[in-house]
């Protein structure tokens, strides 16, 4: 940005008190929180006024060596003056002080960011003024101590334990158990001790100038954009650094002004189940952070919820009927306005309701489905919008097991059902350890007193989460739901000893490494591994998938080679097999001996003899799959890996094979050495095997065609085979192999009197094949993009070795994402599009599909839609995800 442009920029937008300069559509500039505060104020809802410092300031700040734009100070001063006029109070005034909250707000809600600072603007003078003005000294000094504590923690980075210790000691000495037991005088004493402690820790006085406090907090928000927590969160959620965060400065309203005041959080529908009916918690005489921090146990919002939870404390509906009625009206208005379930924060100050936040609520997959389907049926959104509303990646949660209700359970304890689904793993008490043990393939359950943003990586690595403290809206609960990890929060009866790595409950002790099962749907924590059951794919799931199928153009197939996988995939809606790898079939215990015999024989005759033994087994494999797939097309790839992969590796294996084949071990080892290659990925594999050992592919082709005939005779259904030749680089390779396979098909037709239905095509997985697609399509009736190998060969990057440095590449910004997970559109994608175009120019009817790992990745599926592929193929469990993603890609392309 040039200096001229900078000088003209509008950095600050006001909201509330009659009008707003911003609106919901401006979330890129104002962040989600700021844009929605502006929108709510525009709708005429009661929003404490304030102003938003834009995300552009954040970007300018980092672009300019952590300096603010020159004109920012003046714009903030002007907005502050306007705010003072609206609320008729003055910032820093000793008799009529304005207090503000300073709140971060990125485009997408980000738990890694700076925590909110409340009650900013207090010092000895303004606290006294607040006491006079409110007629409530206790409230004034309660606010003041909160401010010192929060500001010290969040802005000054002091250890919060110092303040907690002071408060605990004071309570002990005075025989108090609750914070609410403290009087005005007590809080004054605490404030004094807090300030002294802060000065000691800081080496200077705690800042008493409200403007210094304000700029300190603003600076802390912008700095937090680049802290470790935020960086980790952004990486996990694909949020670009360039988005920046906004800062909201807002007049305080007080939920801690006695029994007619309260603060709370609510969802307009149940975020776990999607059920209609408000869902939320509130605390009387408290400020916002009390709810989230889990310091006090919140009460239920509605009577209905209170009854369901069996909570003895009165609900808000009961305790504050008028505010509750007003809140209900606001909920309905906001849901109609945003046409989505809302997550809302509010405060009641002496009976008066104030709205502090609204956003589209995070929800479990189950709730997302139900809410989308319900809202479409209510007429609030269209069926197509409903399809767009569910995150395909989130569906994963529904496709995984839950606990079998009839199986015996050894229940250790119960907490809150904070995030549904069941998971099983070993107990681990530390986030770093959870991450490292998970990276070694162990399944872990993370057990914590409570979680904080520092634990996010461990929560991500864990199968499930248990916390001793915290409600349904605690950090653990919110984050776990977002990540789709089963979570039990507030399991208050467990006593965790971090040092010993154990927890005890009801006289039993669970050690680090003991197996636990977490049932996030009921809140139970069980000892040992409990029996799980497979998910139900009916109801809302079926309805939404039906709508998705209506919207989608691309077909969805599956990668499967076992009957079990094929069955699962068909249940999940697979419309064919996109990749059946035949080599896995070679490893089966009953045939590996024959496979080795084939590989080890040095003559064609020897190989044919061995292959004759394999043929019937392979034919049975294919027949089984054709029976399951019916008329759905099955792409079967002929043998692909280098032969030495099948040879024995250990001395013991060698001895076994020697005994079975009658060959001396030395000869075996010599043959293995013969076959070994220095770069097997680029070696004698794929169609190159077919060229040198014609009999192998001929056997496989025969097994396929004979199986088709058998199944047709048996069932009357004609199976459809797509015989796929792997690793083709030249048109000539394919021409030679196609002729042989077609020859086998004719032979089988002649022998059996039945002509199998088949196509012959190739996998496009080498750059040369992509570039020469026009030639290759003369013989290929289909292309299947093998994007795993195509990514390896395009980048010249071995997937098995890349893991060691991919992290560095992503950190350095060279790769935005792992190209083996999400297709590289620019390079690999270019080759895909070139091949599609050139191939179709030769052969109009050329069928195009993708069978790499990318076939189940929603972003890659969007690319496939844009490139005009006919189908994607993915692992069975991802089939519903791909169906939904393909529908969304189609709808996005149409709009």
Q: Which does 629 bind (CB under 5 to 8 A by kind): Mg ion, ligand ADP, none?
A: none
Answer for which of 765, 824, 853, 857 binds Mg ion (CB under 5 A) is 765
- CA torsion, ordered 792, 796, 799, 801, to nearest 10 deg: 170
Choices 183-191, 355-363, 516-524, 574-582 (CB under 5 A): range interacting with Mg ion: 355-363
Stretch that binds ligand ADP, among 198-206, 245-253, 371-379, 476-484 (CB under 6 A): 245-253
**Interface with ligand ADP by CB under 6 A: which range of 247-255, 267-275, 547-555, 755-763?**
247-255
- The reply on whether position 252 binds ligand ADP by CB under 6 A is yes
Which alpha helices (DSSP H) does 25-181 contain, by range? 27-42, 55-63, 72-87, 124-134, 137-150, 160-173
**Residue 167: contacted member of ligand ADP, Mg ion, none (CB under 5 to 8 Å, by partner type):** none
Answer for which of 298, 578, 786, 858 binds Mg ion (CB under 5 A) is 786
Candidates 114, 131, 191, 253: give the one binding ligand ADP (CB under 6 A): 253
| Per-residue mark of binding to Mg ion, 281-300 (x: CB under 5 A) | --------------------
The CB-based long-range contact list for 2-11 (8 Å cut-off, 24+ gap) reads 6/60, 6/69, 6/70, 6/71, 7/70, 7/71, 9/56, 9/69, 9/71, 10/54, 10/75, 11/53, 11/54, 11/56, 11/57, 11/69, 11/71, 11/72, 11/75
Smallest distance from the beta carbon of 252 to ligand ADP, in angstroms? 4
Q: Which helix (H) or strand (E) holds 829?
A: helix 828-842
- Please say which residue, 361 or 484, places its beta carbon nearer to Mg ion: 361
| 36 vs 543, beta carbon nearer ligand ADP | 36
Q: Are strands 508-511 and 502-505 parallel, antiparallel or unpaired?
A: antiparallel
Choose among Mg ion, ligand ADP, none what residue 32 binds, the Cβ cut-off being 5 to 8 Å by kind.
none
Nearer to Mg ion by Cβ, of 741 and 769: the residue is 769
Answer yes or no whether residue 34 interacts with ligand ADP by CB under 6 A. Answer: no
For residue 853, state whether it binds Mg ion (rule: CB under 5 A): no
Per CB under 6 A, 263 contacts ligand ADP: yes
Q: Which does 335 bind (CB under 5 to 8 A by kind): Mg ion, ligand ADP, none?
A: none
Q: What, of ligand ADP, Mg ion, none, does residue 786 touch, CB below 5 to 8 Å by kind?
A: Mg ion
The residue among 27 and 607 lying less far from Mg ion, judged by its C-beta, is 27
Choose from ligand ADP, Mg ion, none: what does 103 bind? Cβ within 5-8 Å by kind: ligand ADP
**Three-point CA angle 251, 253, 257, nearest 5°:** 150
Q: With binding defined as CB under 6 A, does residue 118 bind ligand ADP?
A: yes
Stretches 250-258, 620-628, 752-760, 832-840: which one binds ligand ADP (CB under 6 A)?
Answer: 250-258
- Measured CA to CA, the distance from residue 510 to residue 520 in angstroms comes to 19
Burial of 130 (0-12, 13-18, 19+ CB in 10 A): buried
Handedness of CA 65, 70, 71, 76 (dihedral sign): positive
Interacting residues of 660 by C-beta distance below 8 A, sequence separation 6+? 593, 596, 597
Q: Does 288 bind ligand ADP (CB under 6 A)?
A: yes
Q: How far is the CB of 52 from ligand ADP (least distance, A)?
A: 12
Which range of residues in 168-176, 218-226, 251-259, 694-702 is near ligand ADP by CB under 6 A?
251-259
Rounded to 10 deg, the angle between the 828-842 and 787-795 helix axes is 120
Contact 547, 863 (CB under 8 A): no
- Residues with catalytic function: 475, 851
Size of the site for ligand ADP (CB under 6 A): 16
Tokens 């059902």 -> residue: 417
Q: Which is nearer to Mg ion, 54 or 357 (CB)?
A: 357
- CB nearer Mg ion, residue 786 or residue 856: 786
Residue listed under structure tokens 């190998």: 789
Shortest distance (Å) from residue 27 CB to ligand ADP: 14
Minimum CB separation of residue 798 from Mg ion in Å reads: 13
DSSP SS3 for 353: strand
Q: Please identify, using beta-carbon distances, which residue of 347 and 357 lies nearer to Mg ion.
A: 357
Using the minimum distance from each CB to ligand ADP, give the nearer residue, 357 or 413. Answer: 357
Contact between 39 and 20 under an 8 Å Cβ cutoff? The reply is yes
| Count of residues that interact with Mg ion, criterion CB under 5 A | 5
Chain residues 331-360 in contact with ligand ADP, contact rule CB under 6 A: 345, 347, 356-357
CB of 269 to ligand ADP, least distance (A): 19
Quote the CA–CA distance of 422 and 409 in Å, as a whole number.
13
Among 48, 294, 425, 690, binds ligand ADP (CB under 6 A): 48
Q: Is the dihedral of CA 305, 311, 312, 313 positive or negative?
A: negative
Which of ligand ADP, Mg ion, none binds 101 (CB below 5-8 Å, type-dependent)?
Answer: ligand ADP
Cα–Cα–Cα angle for 274, 389, 394, rounded to 5 degrees: 70
The phi, psi pair for 868, rounded to 5°, reads 75, 25
Applying CB under 6 A, the span of 248-256, 308-316, 400-408, 782-790 interacting with ligand ADP comes to 248-256
Query: Between the CA of residue 53 and those of 10, 83, 122, 210, 239, what are the distances in Å?
Result: 9, 14, 22, 18, 20
d(CA 544, CA 117): 42
CB 121 within 8 A of CB 92: yes
Ramachandran class of 738: left when φ > 0, alpha when ψ lies in -120 to 50, beta otherwise: alpha
Nearer to ligand ADP, 263 or 419 (CB): 263
Q: How far apart are CA 762 and CA 741, in angstroms?
A: 12
285 scored as a contact of ligand ADP (CB under 6 A): no
Question: Which stretch in 277-285, 320-328, 668-676, 758-766 sits in contact with Mg ion by CB under 5 A?
Answer: 758-766
Q: Compare residues 568 and 794 and give the one whose CB is closer to Mg ion.
A: 794
Q: Are strands 524-527 and 515-519 parallel, antiparallel or unpaired?
A: antiparallel
**Residues 429, 496: contact at Cβ < 8 Å?**
yes
State the DSSP code for 534: P
Q: Taking CB within 5 to 8 Å according to partner kind, which of Mg ion, ligand ADP, none is near residue 116? A: ligand ADP
Closer to ligand ADP at the Cβ: 179 or 345?
A: 345
Q: Does 84 bind ligand ADP (CB under 6 A)?
A: no
471: DSSP letter: -
Strand partners, 874: 558
Which of 86, 89, 103, 772 forms a contact with ligand ADP (CB under 6 A)? 103
229 binds ligand ADP (CB under 6 A): no
* 789 interface partner picked from ligand ADP, Mg ion, none, CB below 5 to 8 A per type: Mg ion
Binding site for ligand ADP (CB under 6 A): 48, 101, 103, 116, 118, 250-253, 263, 288-289, 345, 347, 356-357
Binding site for Mg ion (CB under 5 A): 345, 357, 765, 786, 789
């Amino acid at each position: 940005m040039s200096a001229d442009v900078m000088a003209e920029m509008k950095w600050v937008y006001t909201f509330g008190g009659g009008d707003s300069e911003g609106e919901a559509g401006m979330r890129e500039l104002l962040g989600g929180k700021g844009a929605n505060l502006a929108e709510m104020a525009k709708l005429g809802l009661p929003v404490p006024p304030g102003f938003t410092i834009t995300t552009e300031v954040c970007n300018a700040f980092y672009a300019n060596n952590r300096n603010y734009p020159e004109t920012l100070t003046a714009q903030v001063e002007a907005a502050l003056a306007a705010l003072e006029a609206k609320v008729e109070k003055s910032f820093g005034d000793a008799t009529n002080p304005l207090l503000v909250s300073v709140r971060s707000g990125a485009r997408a809600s980000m738990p890694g960011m700076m925590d909110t600072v409340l009650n900013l603007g207090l010092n000895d003078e303004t606290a006294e003024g607040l006491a006079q003005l409110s007629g409530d000294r206790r409230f004034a000094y309660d606010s003041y101590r909160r401010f010192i504590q929060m500001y010290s923690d969040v802005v000054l980075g002091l250890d919060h334990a110092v303040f907690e210790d002071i408060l605990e000691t004071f309570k002990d000495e005075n025989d108090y158990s609750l914070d609410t037991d403290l009087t005005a005088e007590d809080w004054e004493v605490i404030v004094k001790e807090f300030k002294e402690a802060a000065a000691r820790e800081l080496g200077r006085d705690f800042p008493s100038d409200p403007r210094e406090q304000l700029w300190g907090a603003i600076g802390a928000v912008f700095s937090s954009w680049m802290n470790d927590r935020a960086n980790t969160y952004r990486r996990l959620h694909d949020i670009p650094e360039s988005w920046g965060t906004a800062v909201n400065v807002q007049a305080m309203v007080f939920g801690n002004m006695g029994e007619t005041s309260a603060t709370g959080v609510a969802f307009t529908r149940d975020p776990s189940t999607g059920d209609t009916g408000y869902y939320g918690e509130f605390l009387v005489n408290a400020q916002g952070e009390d709810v989230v921090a889990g310091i006090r146990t919140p009460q239920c919002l509605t009577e209905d919820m209170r009854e369901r939870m069996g909570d003895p404390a009165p609900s808000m509906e009961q305790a504050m009927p008028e505010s509750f009625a007003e809140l209900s009206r606001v909920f309905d208005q906001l849901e109609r306005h945003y046409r989505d379930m809302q997550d809302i924060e509010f405060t009641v100050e002496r009976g008066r309701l104030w709205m502090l936040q609204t956003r589209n609520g995070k929800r479990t997959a189950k709730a997302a489905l139900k809410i989308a389907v319900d809202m479409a049926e209510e007429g609030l959104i269209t069926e197509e919008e409903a399809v767009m509303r569910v995150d395909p990646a989130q569906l994963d949660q529904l496709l995984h097991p839950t606990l079998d209700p009839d199986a015996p359970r050894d229940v250790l304890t119960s907490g809150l059902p904070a995030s549904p689904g069941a998971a099983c793993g070993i107990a681990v008490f530390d986030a770093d350890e959870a991450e490292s043990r998970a990276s070694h393939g162990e399944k872990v359950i993370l057990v914590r007193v409570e979680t904080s943003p520092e634990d996010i990586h461990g929560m991500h690595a864990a199968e499930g989460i248990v916390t001793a403290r915290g409600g349904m809206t605690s950090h653990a609960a919110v984050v776990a739901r977002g990540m789709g990890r089963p979570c039990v929060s507030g399991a208050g009866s467990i006593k965790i000893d971090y040092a010993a790595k154990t927890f005890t409950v009801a006289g039993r002790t669970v050690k680090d490494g003991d197996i636990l099962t977490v049932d996030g749907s009921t809140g139970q924590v069980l000892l040992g591994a409990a029996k799980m059951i497979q998910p139900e794919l009916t109801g809302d799931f079926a309805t939404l998938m039906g709508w998705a199928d209506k919207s989608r153009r691309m077909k969805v197939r599956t990668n499967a080679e076992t009957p079990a996988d094929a069955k699962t995939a068909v249940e999940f809606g697979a419309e064919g097999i996109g990749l059946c790898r035949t080599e896995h079939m070679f490893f089966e215990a009953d045939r590996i001996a024959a496979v080795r015999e084939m590989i080890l024989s040095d003559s064609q005759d020897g190989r044919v003899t061995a292959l004759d033994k394999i043929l019937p087994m392979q034919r049975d494999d294919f027949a089984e799959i054709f029976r399951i797939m019916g008329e759905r097309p099955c792409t079967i790839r002929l043998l692909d890996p280098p032969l030495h992969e099948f040879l024995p590796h250990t001395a013991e294996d060698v001895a076994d094979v020697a005994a079975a084949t009658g060959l001396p071990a030395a000869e075996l080892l010599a043959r293995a050495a013969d076959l070994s290659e220095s770069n097997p990925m680029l070696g004698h594999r794929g169609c190159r095997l077919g060229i040198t050992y014609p009999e192998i592919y001929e056997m496989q082709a025969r097994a396929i065609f004979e199986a088709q005939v058998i199944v047709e005779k048996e069932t009357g259904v004609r199976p459809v085979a797509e015989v796929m030749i792997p690793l083709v680089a030249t048109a000539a390779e394919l021409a030679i192999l196609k002729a042989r396979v077609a020859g086998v098909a004719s032979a089988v037709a002649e022998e059996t009197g039945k002509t199998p239905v088949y196509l012959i095509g190739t996998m496009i997985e080498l750059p040369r094949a992509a570039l020469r697609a026009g030639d290759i399509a003369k013989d290929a009736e289909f292309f299947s993009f093998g994007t795993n190998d195509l990514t390896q060969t395009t980048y010249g990057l071995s997937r098995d070795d890349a893991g060691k440095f991919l992290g560095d590449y992503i950190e350095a910004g060279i790769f935005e994402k792992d190209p083996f997970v999400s297709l590289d559109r620019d390079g690999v994608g270019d080759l895909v599009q070139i091949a599609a175009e050139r191939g179709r120019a030769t052969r109009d009817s050329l069928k195009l599909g993708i069978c790499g790992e990318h076939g189940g990745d929603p972003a890659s599926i969007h690319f496939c839609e844009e490139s005009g592929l006919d189908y994607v193929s993915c692992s069975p469990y991802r089939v519903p995800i791909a169906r939904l993603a393909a529908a969304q890609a189609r709808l996005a392309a149409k709009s």
